[in-house]
Structure 1
Amino acid sequence: MLIIEGIHHVSLNVRDLRRSQDFYERILGLQELPRPAFDFEGAWYAIGTTDQQLHLIVYKGETLRTGEVDTKDGHFALRVSSYENTQKWLDQCGITYTAKPYGKAGFPQIFILDPDQNIIELNAERLEEN
């Protein structure tokens, strides 16, 4: 039997590394990590205060996604501290999103696309009540 300790990293394919780095650093606020000298372009990022990471890999092949956000499609999720502040930040940055404050998941969710159409879920423990 396997004993899973947690997720180490998620890898995403990107086409333009600089464009993706701008998105993940400026919009999501991720901090870049040192990366081994692979024979392909990419970047590694720390996620939160854990040892979890996001790896970007430059890939010139085709992807499956061509349209808008479909919340049933493959994605990864990041927990945010404030749903309301996340919406305000995305609005300020001009990022289009799909908001599901009262979805069936039991916690509020926001779905966005990165520059390469990778779906990212941003969710909070609870919805702030004004």
Structure 2
Amino acid sequence: MMPMIEVQRVHHLGIRVTDEQQAIAFYRHFGFEVERRADGDDVTILTNPSGVEINLIYNGVDLTGGKNILMDVPEKHPGYTHVALAVGSINRTLEALKESNIAISQGPVTFGRKGYASVFVRDPDRNVIELRGRYTDEEDVEGLEYYDPKA
């Protein structure tokens, strides 16, 4: 029998960016603040009140003309396409995105699990972030659509 490695949780998310300050300003909209900068490395560690950690690696170079190589070109390259962050309320999230002038790239959509909806946004380097939250039967999620991968 193959030995199993006990993965307990995701420790942090590393995101390569081209502009450290622009990325910090963006992720502050999601409750992240600078915890510290790594000594001798191009890394800034951000955390939010829930303990989620993002490592901004600020040595990125844009060679694709502002496109995300994993999402914005016809060829499908292997790699991580997005991160999904759990949010408390999809409606409050939609309101906050609107107030913060953060463009929604897709959604709100539901993937069939009742009571959950997702909205997708892009950071300044076009990295995709899914914000997934709950809604109740009494709530109306404006513009909610069912995701159909064949459409």
| Shorter-chain TM-score range | 0.7 to 0.9
Equivalence for 1:2: 5
Specify the alignment match of 2:58 in structure 1: 58
- Does the aligned pair in 1 maintain the 2:38–2:44 contact within 8 Å? no
Q: Hey, what does 1:45 align to over in structure 2?
A: 46
Q: Which structure dedicates a bigger proportion of its chain to helix?
A: 1
Check conservation: 2:38, 2:45, Cα contact below 8 A. no
Cα distance in structure 2, aligned partners of 1:16 and 1:105: 37
Between 1 and 2, higher relative CO (CA 8 Å, sep ≥ 6) is seen in 1
- What amino acid maps onto 1:16 in structure 2? D
Q: Deviations over 1:20-78 (max 9, x none)?
A: 111111x21212212331332x311124423x41111012334515749xxxx711111
Distance 1:22 1:67 in 2: 24
Aligned-CA RMSD value: 2.3
1:17-32 paired onto structure 2 within 5 Å: 17-25=20-28, 27-32=29-34
The answer as to whether partners of 2:91 and 2:135 remain within 8 angstroms in 1 is no
2:46 counterpart letter in structure 1? Y
Higher Rg of the two aligned structures: 2
Rounded to whole Å, the distance in 2 between the matches of 1:110 and 1:122 is: 5
Question: Are residues 15 and 105 of structure 1, via their aligned partners in 2, closer, same or farther at CA, if it must alter by over 3 Å?
Answer: farther
Name the CA distance, whole Å, in 1 between partners of 2:121 and 2:113: 17
1:53 partner letter: E
TM-score by length of 2: 0.70
**Other structure's SS at 1:18 match:** helix
Q: Tell me, yes or no, if the aligned pair for 1:34 and 1:44 is still in contact at 8 Å.
A: yes
Match of 1:75 among 82, 107, 124: 82
Question: Partners of 2:59 and 2:113 in 1: how far apart?
Answer: 32
Greater than 4 Å deviation, 4+ residue runs: none
Alignment gaps of 5+ in structure 2: 74-79, 141-151
Which one of 104, 108, 121 corresponds to residue 100 of structure 1?
108
Q: TM-score, normalised by structure 1?
A: 0.80
Task: Report the AA paired with residue 35 of structure 2.
Answer: L
Distance 1:66 1:5 in 2: 29
Give the unaligned 5+ runs of structure 1.
none
